[in-house]
Amino acid sequence: MLQYEELRIRVRPVGPSHCLVAVSGPACALGVITVDGAPAAFRARWDRLVEADLGLAPMGERHTAEQLRELGRDVYALLFGGAGQGGGAGGVGEAGSCLAAALELAQRLRPPRGLRLRFDLPPHLRELPLEALCAPAGLPQQSLALGPGYSLARSLPGGPLGRRLPDPADEPSLIRLVVACASPAGSGPALRVDTEVAALRHELPEVAVRTTVVERATRERLEAALGAHGDLPTAVLLIAHGTYDEDLGKGVVHLETDRGGVDPVPADLLSGILLKAPGCASPSSTSVPEPTVRAATACTPSRSPGSRRRWSAGACPRSSPCAAGSATCRRAASARNS
């Protein structure tokens, strides 16, 4: 498993429309950015692209992939410098230049390591679609979430300071785990589903985790399972084969059809199933009081011994206090192919 060096990116407000950006880790930098109404505008663009890619809104004259790269570069320019942010020596442009330097230092280690970018953002910037981050056209990083050497992570606030244990009157915390299993004939070697599920049940305490297993998972069965008990914080584990479709340019997960055949589900469509499930309402909605985390993983053989392919889709984490008093994402859908 690839290990990571961590580059921590802390953003703190220093005025009505300015924030200090401090980068520390394998490389260091410091700068000031101008924010104004950018986070809400970027989130609105992200939501429109998700709707268009799922066929729920008109795509327009330009492909969503092109618009996503443009959005990612605008977010990159806001955080790390670029058009409209000034850059220059000692400015935020230096923060952007240290990304490549930090990755180079991490890859020089033996064994080589990747670079995890951990963002610690103030509340008014947490709507930024960091998952879309894309470097300017002249830089090699491009879409950071898809780069095999990068990992993106958010730091979210925990419960009240000084309160580590629950009070006697607190309701017990409970997380729902939906395990969707699909191993149709023709999708690849048979998966050891029973062994994995048994290991999960053995390791996870029943008092804290309610596990629901969806066998021979189809799109309809997965949607039905997600719709049940949508009031609980939920994690989704997908045990299935996956491939990278060169023609589509995206990852594909092999679910099952009603007759047991292979149903190739593209990453963005799987993301849409997770995003649209009950319990994935926006933070402003009062119909679902609990936050929900949707995540899926799938594996496929590498093309060569040293190669790894990853793909992700449709993640938009937002912080909100959950029943346990911690903070997590209300809406997140991601898939990784490793």
pTM for the full model? Answer: 0.53
Give the confidence band of 321 by pLDDT, cuts at 50, 70, 90.
very low
Kindly tell me if the per-residue pLDDT of 334 is higher than 90.
no
Backbone phi, psi, residue 220, to 5°: -65, -40
Instruction: Write out the two tokens for 337.
Output: 């192919």
| CATH code for position 324 | 3.40.50
Residue 135 structural domain? 4-154
**Does the residue 166 lie in any domain?**
no
Answer yes or no: do 150 and 200 share one domain: no
**Does the residue 159 lie in any domain?**
no
Quick one: average pLDDT of 266-289? Answer: 60
Contact between 218 and 224 (Cβ < 8 Å):
no
Instruction: Point out the least confidently predicted range of 10-14, 136-140, 318-322.
Output: 318-322
Dump pLDDT digits (tens) for 125-159: 988 999 899 988 877 778 888 888 889 998 877 65
Kindly tell me if the per-residue pLDDT of 80 is higher than 90.
no
Answer yes or no: do 147 and 196 share one domain: no
Distance CA 273, CA 184 (A): 20
Kindly tell me if the per-residue pLDDT of 322 is higher than 70.
no
Dump pLDDT digits (tens) for 56-65: 888 788 888 8
Contact between 330 and 280 (Cβ < 8 Å):
yes
**Does the residue 79 lie in any domain?**
yes
Give the confidence band of 312 by pLDDT, cuts at 50, 70, 90.
very low
Q: Largest Cα–Cα distance in the chain?
A: 62
Distance CA 196, CA 203 (A): 11
**Does the residue 131 lie in any domain?**
yes
**Does the residue 239 lie in any domain?**
yes
**Does the residue 165 lie in any domain?**
no
**Does the residue 119 lie in any domain?**
yes
Answer yes or no: do 143 and 268 share one domain: no
Answer yes or no: do 52 and 149 share one domain: yes
Residue bearing the bigger pLDDT, 89 or 121 = 121
Quick one: average pLDDT of 312-338? Answer: 29
Give the confidence band of 215 by pLDDT, cuts at 50, 70, 90.
very high
Answer yes or no: do 101 and 26 share one domain: yes
**Does the residue 51 lie in any domain?**
yes
Tell which of 154, 186, 203 closes a domain. Answer: 154
Tell which of 154, 185, 205 closes a domain. Answer: 154
Answer yes or no: do 137 and 188 share one domain: no
Give the total number of structural domains in the chain.
2
Quick one: average pLDDT of 239-265? Answer: 89
